[in-house]
Amino acid sequence: MILPIALCGSSLFFPFSACNRINPLLLCKGRRRIQFSFWQFKRVRHRHAVAAAENGVFTSPEIAKSFDFTAEERIYNWWESQGYFRPNFERGSDPFVISMPPPNVTGSLHMGHAMFVTLEDILVRYHRMKGRPTLWLPGTDHAGIATQLVVEKMLASEGIKRTDMSRDEFATRVWEWKEKYGGTITNQIKRLGASCDWAREHFTLDEQLSQAVIEAFVRLHEKGLIYQGSYMVNWSPALQTAVSDLEVEYSEEAGYLYYIKYRVAGGSRSDYLTVATTRPETLFGDVALAVHPQDDRYSKYIGQMAIVPMTFGRHVPILSDKHVDREFGTGVLKISPGHDHNDYLLARKLGLPILNVMNKDATLNEVAGLYSGLDRFEARKKLWAELEETGLTVKKEPHTLRVPRSQRGGEVIEPLVSKQWFVTMEPLAEKALQAVEKGELTIIPERFEKIYNHWLSNIKDWCISRQLWWGHRIPVWYIVGKDNQEEYIVARNGDEALQKAHERYGKDVEIYQDPDVLDTWFSSALWPFSTLGWPDMSAEDFKRFYPTTVLETGHDILFFWVARMVMMGIELTGTVPFSYVYLHGLIRDSQGRKMSKTLGNVIDPLDTIKEFGTDALRFTLAFGTAGQDLNLSTELLTSNKAFTNKLWNAGKFILQNLPNQNDAPAWENILAYKFDREDSVVNLPLPECWAVSKLHLRIDSITTSYDKFYFGEVGRETYDFFWGDFADWYIEASKARLYHSGGTSVASVAQAVLLYVFENILKPLHPFMPFVTEELWQALPNRKQALIVSPWPETQLPRNTNSIKKFENLRSLIKAIRNARAEYSVEPAKRISASVVASNEVIQYIAQEREVLALLSRLDLQNLHFTDSPPDQSVHLVAGEGLEAYLPLADMVDISAEVERLSKRLSKMQKEYDGFIAQLSSAKFVERAPEDVVRGVREKAAEAEEKITLTKNRLELLKSNVLVTK
């Protein structure tokens, strides 16, 4: 009697380690023959002479046990010395260009840098191999605020204040700092394998880029798109400069809501309005109170005057406005237009004056009277105490505040009215919106288009002036003795400004330059074209490489940088600066938390490289999905380090099983196989035809994924094919050829396929894992050029889908036998008999690969039978439709020992089951125990009952000499 076992694909595992499967002969010394029951294997040794290896750059897997991470810098320097990073127009004329997002010159490498370097290098290496001239243009940003802060701290350590120095002296110290420390981030980016053209590296304060910034300012001003005015800005008291709306971060913080009485002028003591405010110190800047016109509580006071507390009786009007929120606080709004963005807009609408009570250092000015000179927070405490003393307070209650803080300095931002330079954004934004609408610009992932469109449709004018000493000086000069709000000159340099001044005001005038500098993002907005020679549109690089192809960056600077580049590119060059925008997500820790020093969860890329290697880090980072945040964990890095080792071991196996390079006849046989021809592929033996066909299919799908920016899919497909198909199956199957006593004629087909498939795995993996793939490539025989510049594999190569189906059938059979062996603890070295039952057609191709079947299933080749009738007393395996196998009971298990083992097991399970039933039979337990506990016991009892039934069935059948398994 035989009961079939239902077996299915990937859930079946063979009880042998992955490293043993790769090459069981690696531990053997010298040349020795290993005796098996059905044929003899022999190990082939050789030595390859590779030109690149001779210069000490590369190490062969035959020599090294694993890939040595310290070789990465040697390999990188070799690539650069060979000129591989420069655009090469010999193979094509359509360039692929990426402008690197310039990291701050003050920066050191973090995972955000590692992410963009990895993804951009993947794109560049892919298109370089595709034959396109590639330019990845690197550089750094002068980072106005960040750099000035760093240098000021350095000076402070020497006991020097910036204000004790002249502007030129300070600039000299900053340049000294930049020359000494500014290259740190560049060297660290190189450590990640960035194949940039470093000969074209730029810095945003380079002479040529500085001229581009001045030209952009002048042209935009001439078009009426740049203007000067006094408007509400975000002021950073510590940095003493205006900052952009985008550089202000809001945080939820605990604070208070202060309720203050404003008496009505001419009224009784009971006539007052209570104002609820989070910033009492700004009351000195109040110019009015406002209530909702339909708020019955206050309608009688509309049109009257209120007395501002602690101002010696200053009166302000009580107005009505429908935008006043009746539900917030008391429904009475104090209007302080000098210190609140909303109040500022309301005051301008109502024609109210602007009253500023704050100095640039966030101390109160003379408008605050006795509070003049006090810090804003100190003034708040003192004012509240004195309001309490005078009976003008109602209450103070806890309130969650939305506090604006400087992204750079971290201090609380102060809204202040200040004279600044602005760019009119609406006409620029309209063109940028049309670029996406017309398909001239594609944003990936697509969902960010909505965010892009929303921001540009509601854009505000851009404050581009900063009160700093480090950066691009605003190219504006004023006339000494004249109102600089009205009389100013925009020029490209001082000489031109003086000439214009003489022409306009006479020869005796004196001029001085605006002390402010431009927002760092202004120069960054020109980056894709200023780095290529603009405004000289006849510059060779500009003509060859502009517009660029892809802009890759984090989604968090879509507005800071990307949208501004699009607007400036269209306005100043007439062209969208790039065709695609690819936005990656943030790197988070394994728990999904944002990395921060406070949490102590920051992962240093350089430390990661030392432990896991650059390739494993890059492969991990590239596995994400566009726009989605990636959780980085040690487990992922460890897994991908193991993948690096798997590649290395595969290369070791292949090299050890190729003929010596001096063996001309053997190499003639190998090179005779042409896998780009239909007949050559179709006529291959089944495992070889399967491996080559699967490779050709994967090349097509991987290439498509590269073209669609599906980096994660590329990684998964390549990983799965190499490990799941090539390493775990074809390499194992090839041993039936390589170690057969038939000699080189039998081995050559496997050697040819191993070499062909492996080199075409290294190619699509190279953009992800450049170092280990180049090292392996250089170790292979007959390498005429480096992998970095090798042609990409051809697509649409021949494949035989019928052979794929046949080998999958054979693989299912092997998995079924492996699973049965594991289930019944058959010794790994023990070879068992088997009978395969199938149709004549299936038997024919399975029988042709009997050696592969026997090798991978640990079968006794002499007792492997193909029949149409099943034997008795066997384990029945169903591998697929029309394909079954029978494993003799005597080979599989010692029946008497198994009966004894199962009997003991049954007794133990019965005791456990009885215990569960006893619990459930107790009314006290069922009624008093928590519901989830009772449910858990019921589930355990049901599971135990099922196991007992299965075990009893097996015992019964074993005792009658028939094995039954479900």
**Mean predicted confidence (pLDDT) in 652-668:** 91
DSSP string, 132-159: --EEEE-EEB--HHHHHHHHHHHHHHTT
Q: 231: pLDDT confidence band, cut at 50, 70 and 90?
A: confident
pLDDT tens, 141-160?
Answer: 998 888 998 898 899 999 99
**Mean predicted confidence (pLDDT) in 800-829:** 91
Give the pLDDT confidence score for residue 31 in this predicted structure. Answer: 31
Give the pLDDT confidence score for residue 54 in this predicted structure. Answer: 57
Residue 587 and residue 111 in contact, taking contact as beta carbons nearer than 8 Å: yes
Percentage of the residues of the chain whose pLDDT score is greater than 90? 67
Q: 790: pLDDT confidence band, cut at 50, 70 and 90?
A: very high
**Mean predicted confidence (pLDDT) in 254-283:** 94
Phi, psi values for residue 241, rounded to 5°: -150, 160
Question: Alpha-carbon distance 782 to 775, whole Å?
Answer: 14
Residue 842 and residue 683 in contact, taking contact as beta carbons nearer than 8 Å: no
- Residue keyed to tokens 């209120």: 306
343-347, 475-479, 817-821: which is most confident: 475-479
Nearest CA-CA partner of 706 in 698, 693, 725: 698
pLDDT at residue 542 tops 80: yes
Q: 616: pLDDT confidence band, cut at 50, 70 and 90?
A: very high
Phi, psi values for residue 65, rounded to 5°: -70, -35
Whole-prediction pTM value? Answer: 0.84
pLDDT at residue 796 tops 60: yes
pLDDT at residue 28 tops 60: no
Give the pLDDT confidence score for residue 685 in this predicted structure. Answer: 94
Which DSSP letter does residue 595 get?
P
**Mean predicted confidence (pLDDT) in 465-469:** 93
**Mean predicted confidence (pLDDT) in 396-419:** 90
**Mean predicted confidence (pLDDT) in 438-454:** 95
Neighbours of 872 (CB within 10 A): 11
Give the pLDDT confidence score for residue 699 in this predicted structure. Answer: 98
Nearest CA-CA partner of 68 in 776, 783, 777: 776
Q: 404: pLDDT confidence band, cut at 50, 70 and 90?
A: very high
Left (φ > 0), alpha (ψ -120 to 50) or beta: where does 773 sit?
alpha
pLDDT at residue 7 tops 60: no
pLDDT at residue 308 tops 80: yes
Question: Alpha-carbon distance 283 to 295, whole Å?
Answer: 23
pLDDT tens, 368-383?
Answer: 999 999 999 999 999 9
Nearest CA-CA partner of 199 in 524, 529, 541: 541
Question: Alpha-carbon distance 60 to 64, whole Å?
Answer: 6
pLDDT at residue 449 tops 80: yes
CA atoms within 13 A on the CB side of 915: 9
Using alpha carbons only, give the angle 554, 558, 562 rounded to the nearest 5 degrees.
105
Residue 7, helix vs strand vs coil: coil
Question: Alpha-carbon distance 810 to 618, whole Å?
Answer: 36
Give the pLDDT confidence score for residue 646 in this predicted structure. Answer: 96
Region of poorest pLDDT, from 71-80, 677-686, 821-830: 821-830
Give the pLDDT confidence score for residue 961 in this predicted structure. Answer: 52
Give the pLDDT confidence score for residue 591 in this predicted structure. Answer: 84
Question: Alpha-carbon distance 659 to 665, whole Å?
Answer: 10
Q: 598: pLDDT confidence band, cut at 50, 70 and 90?
A: low
Amino acid code (one letter) for 217: F
Q: 597: pLDDT confidence band, cut at 50, 70 and 90?
A: low
More confident residue, 83 or 887: 83
Residue 305 and residue 322 in contact, taking contact as beta carbons nearer than 8 Å: no
Phi, psi values for residue 90, rounded to 5°: -70, -30
Residue 423 and residue 464 in contact, taking contact as beta carbons nearer than 8 Å: yes
Residue 753, helix vs strand vs coil: helix
Residue 884 and residue 844 in contact, taking contact as beta carbons nearer than 8 Å: no
Report cis status (omega within 30 of 0) of the bond before 445. Answer: yes
DSSP string, 874-887: EEEEEEETTEEEEE
Give the pLDDT confidence score for residue 484 in this predicted structure. Answer: 66
Which DSSP letter does residue 696 get?
H
CA 649 to chain CA mean position, Å: 29
Look up residue 473 and give its two tokens.
Answer: 């000086």
Residue 145 and residue 239 in contact, taking contact as beta carbons nearer than 8 Å: yes
**Mean predicted confidence (pLDDT) in 759-773:** 98
Q: 458: pLDDT confidence band, cut at 50, 70 and 90?
A: very high
pLDDT tens, 941-965?
Answer: 999 999 898 888 777 766 765 443 3
Question: Alpha-carbon distance 39 to 741, whole Å?
Answer: 7
pLDDT at residue 842 tops 60: yes
pLDDT tens, 488-532?
Answer: 999 999 999 999 999 998 888 999 999 999 999 999 999 999 999
CA 588 to chain CA mean position, Å: 10
More confident residue, 8 or 242: 242
Cα end-to-end distance, the chain, whole Å? 14
As a three-state string, the secondary structure of 353-378 is CCCCCECCCCEECHHHHHHCCCEHHH
CB proximity list for 806: less than 8 A, separation 6 or greater = 686, 690, 845
pLDDT at residue 557 tops 50: yes
Residue 417 and residue 231 in contact, taking contact as beta carbons nearer than 8 Å: yes
Look up residue 704 and give its two tokens.
Answer: 């498509």
Question: Alpha-carbon distance 945 to 949, whole Å?
Answer: 6
Region of poorest pLDDT, from 9-18, 483-492, 750-759: 9-18
Residue 860, helix vs strand vs coil: strand
pLDDT at residue 806 tops 90: yes
Give the pLDDT confidence score for residue 662 in this predicted structure. Answer: 87
Question: Alpha-carbon distance 892 to 618, whole Å?
Answer: 46
Neighbours of 820 (CB within 10 A): 23
Give the pLDDT confidence score for residue 469 in this predicted structure. Answer: 93
Q: 630: pLDDT confidence band, cut at 50, 70 and 90?
A: confident
Give the pLDDT confidence score for residue 2 in this predicted structure. Answer: 41
CA 564 to chain CA mean position, Å: 22
Question: Alpha-carbon distance 555 to 573, whole Å?
Answer: 25
pLDDT at residue 175 tops 80: yes
CB proximity list for 381: less than 8 A, separation 6 or greater = none
**Dihedral angle over CA of 625, 627, 629, 632, nearest 10:** 40
Look up residue 864 and give its two tokens.
Answer: 């492997």
Give the pLDDT confidence score for residue 773 in this predicted structure. Answer: 98
Residue 683, helix vs strand vs coil: coil
- Residue keyed to tokens 């858990």: 936
Look up residue 107 and give its two tokens.
Answer: 């920066």
Pairing verdict, β 96-99 and 832-838: unpaired
**Mean predicted confidence (pLDDT) in 777-799:** 94
Give the pLDDT confidence score for residue 757 in this predicted structure. Answer: 98
Q: 48: pLDDT confidence band, cut at 50, 70 and 90?
A: very low
Percentage of the residues of the chain whose pLDDT score is greater than 70? 92
Give the pLDDT confidence score for residue 743 in this predicted structure. Answer: 58
**Mean predicted confidence (pLDDT) in 660-682:** 91
